[in-house]
Amino acid sequence: MTSTTDRPLALITGASTGIGRELAREFAAHGYDLGVAANEPRIHEAGEELRGPVEVDSVEVDLATDEGVDTFQAVYNASTSFIPSFALALRNEAKGSGVTITARMHGDERVVSHSRKTRAQAALSRVLPDHVKAELHRRQAAPGSGRR
């Protein structure tokens, strides 16, 4: 999908029901054009529901199959090359503002971050055992942990 507007674009899989559909509603409510996908015909109903002030492309595709992945590959490739460069640009814009910009793409070894702590955590995540990473994540995700 390519957006024909100046609005940002969100790509959401599993958007026919549940959490995926609710995420799509939130993005649409915040002015994002949407590319929504699911492995069932209800994705088209979700697309119709979400369409209105934003553009929505709905795709019925099973991403657990090679054919489904091939169908969706072009959109994913475009987003994975755009997001890191966009994060770097945002980081540059936010320099000195106290705002931290972090982007990490699945499978990407690079972490774009203004925070030394985030960069260190990304480096450590490649060598720490999963149970240690899980404990660190639990501590960081605890309510109020951002104030420590």
Tens digits of residue pLDDT in 34-88: 888 899 999 999 999 998 888 888 888 887 887 777 777 665 565 556 666 777 7
Q: At what angle do helices 42-50 and 18-29 cross, to 10 degrees?
A: 20
What is the strand order of the sheet 33-38 is part of? 9-13, 33-38, 56-60
Structural domains present in the chain: 1-60 (3.40.50.720)
Angle at 50 between CA 49 and CA 51, to 5 degrees: 95
20: CB partners within 8 A, 6+ apart: 12, 13, 14, 36, 38
97: number of Cβ within 10 Å: 9
pLDDT of residue 130: 74
